[in-house]
Structure 1
Amino acid sequence: MAEATERTGADRALKAGHRAMWARGDYPSVAAEIIPGLGRELVDAAGVGSGDRVPDVAAGTGNAATPAALAGADVVAADLAPELLETGRRPAEQRGARLRRQEADAEALPFDDGAFDTVLSCVGVMVAPHHEAAAGELLRVCRPGGTIGLLSRTPGGFAGRMPATVKPYAPPPPPGARPPSLWGDPEHVRALSGDRVTGETTGYRTVAVERFATPEEFRDYFKQRYGPVLGVYESLADDPGRVAALDTDLAGPARRHDRGTGEGRLVMDWEYPLYTAHRSPA
């Protein structure tokens, strides 16, 4: 019992840290300015339609929830950080999207078994530390024959390499936590799903990011806005040498992945795997 209580306490602390990490900085701007179209692509690929019951799990500001609602679905945006959900409220309303918002842990969703027709997560559930628990919840709340749709980061692509660049500077992850990049490996997702799904497909979506003039501008943008990166810099505040080294390294991926013409803007292709499957019959 004492061991179970200790694990529960550690899990609560871990989730509190995750909530604080995503609430700091300005993730809503990152989602709106870097990957605004990914949610729509996920909604289309999953075949969301009018009247479908849909949760956007680890929704953030609602990158998938808003287009799903605009498609006529009955949507709930669920996220561990209510601050992100609230920030997404006004942009959704301005677009005419009506949806519910609920604070929720992706590893323990507050929904009934089989409550939804289509279960979505757009670069969201991948950050849940315990992959088996999160995958189990996605499957549990999806009705038999329903659809699972996930967008993650390709481990070897730009969007996956940036976290890998920061990792050596970050505090070690807690015991049992698994890296988000694994969700970008189709074999890993298949292993998580097992025989609980049928008709699995994995495609890829590429976002051409052109908003930065220099690698340093890219670095500073994420250094100031993106919670996981901001948190690492805060942990290094008393070590200026490590801060300087991270400054150099974080600009590196943008420099290496630039395919621009040298006309004043970087052009980087960020790749995301898009996975869909159907929940196996009960």
Structure 2
Amino acid sequence: MDDAALDQLKAGQKAVWGMGDYRKIALLTDDVAGPLVDACAISAGQEVLDVAAGTGNVAVRAAREGAAVTASDLSPDLIEIGNARCAEEGLDVAWTEADVEDLPFADASFDCVASVFGAMFAPRPERAAQEMFRVVRPGNTVGMANWAPESSVGRTFGLIRDFAPPPEGVPSPFDWGVEEIVRERLGPHAGTVEIERRNCDWSFESREAALEYFGNAGPQAALKAGLTEQGRYEEFRERAWALMDELSVGEEGVRLQPEYLLVVARKRG
């Protein structure tokens, strides 16, 4: 991918993730932040970066532990929401607009760099890994939570890609949910890589309610707008409902338990 195409892709990502109401999506994934903060042993006095922070689930948990927290995201809309959230909770978190592939921080600036379902969406995964390890101090941790490709989230994004294919040459973000690929990407930088498989647990009254709720995520909101204009949204909706019926583990309504990898990698040194 040349520079012009990359710039266009990132501009699109910045716009898309500002669509919908990501606060509602963040509620679904808030329970993931605590286990990642614990796994990285984040504690008072540490300097922590929540990268691709969304509305700051990790930042909030780390700040509650007494860490000095910086939160960064590509989307200025999400930064505004996250900053307001932290202010409302009386938490001192420094928010800044930043690209995980080009972090505006000096080498070895943080004791921990963490990302929950954020850095995995960077179009150049090796570059994202390099940057996260560059800004963390030797002997300290990079933590990630990444959706598995076979999870309900991964399967749903696969359906989205059927209707709105990504640019040629961009790897699937859900490769970050494959253990062998994670070790391959982090191995050049890490002395150890620990991976745990975990699941979220979400319940909705119906498949209609579930699809409407997921529509608060930027990519789904953008897709709905585009497909509605093309007269193709009903086709997507029917396939999405069928997928939920297939993946639901509950007897009533829709219950989804998407799998993710909890990754803690320790930088050499």
TM over 0.5: yes
Aligned to 1:3: none
Cα deviation code 1:221-277 (max 9, x no counterpart) = 223x1111121222223432x321101111223212222232xx4222121110001
Cα deviation code 1:110-135 (max 9, x no counterpart) = 01111111110010001111111111
Are residues 1:179 and 2:169 paired?
Answer: no
Aligned to 2:93: 99
Are residues 1:226 and 2:221 paired?
Answer: no
Alignment of 1:117-136 (within 5 A): 117-136=111-130
Aligned residues of 2:50 and 2:69 also touching (Cα < 8 A): yes
Alignment of 1:203-242 (within 5 A): 203-210=196-203, 212-223=204-215, 225-240=216-231, 242=232
Aligned to 2:237: 247
Q: In 2, distance between residues paired with 1:190 and 1:199?
A: 9
From 263, 266, 277, give the equivalent of 2:265. 277
Are residues 1:260 and 2:250 paired?
Answer: yes
Aligned residues of 1:130 and 1:176 also touching (Cα < 8 A): no
Are residues 1:17 and 2:7 paired?
Answer: no
Structure 1, 173-182 or 111-120: larger mean CA deviation: 173-182
- Structure 2, unaligned stretches of length 5 or more? none
1:85 CA displacement: 1.3
Q: In 1, distance between residues paired with 2:237 and 2:224?
A: 9
Cα deviation code 1:94-149 (max 9, x no counterpart) = 33321100000110000111111111001000111111111110111111101010
Aligned residues of 2:186 and 2:193 also touching (Cα < 8 A): no
Q: Percent identity among equivalent residues? A: 35
SS in structure 1 of the partner of residue 112 of structure 2: strand
Q: In 2, distance between residues paired with 1:89 and 1:164?
A: 32
Cα deviation code 1:1-37 (max 9, x no counterpart) = xxxxx933332222111100000111122112x1121
SS in structure 2 of the partner of residue 152 of structure 1: strand
TM-score, normalised with respect to structure 2 = 0.95
Q: Structure 2: which amino acid aligns with 1:239?
A: Q
Aligned residues of 1:76 and 1:99 also touching (Cα < 8 A): yes
Aligned to 1:45: 39
Cα deviation code 1:150-184 (max 9, x no counterpart) = 001011111211111221001x3224321110011
Q: In 2, distance between residues paired with 1:243 and 1:203?
A: 37
Aligned to 1:190: 183
SS in structure 2 of the partner of residue 260 of structure 1: coil
Q: In 1, distance between residues paired with 2:229 and 2:87?
A: 43
Q: In 1, distance between residues paired with 2:243 and 2:110?
A: 39
SS in structure 1 of the partner of residue 258 of structure 2: strand
SS in structure 2 of the partner of residue 30 of structure 1: helix
- Structure 1, unaligned stretches of length 5 or more? 1-5
Aligned to 2:71: 77
1:193 CA displacement: 1.6
Q: Structure 2: which amino acid aligns with 1:277?
A: A
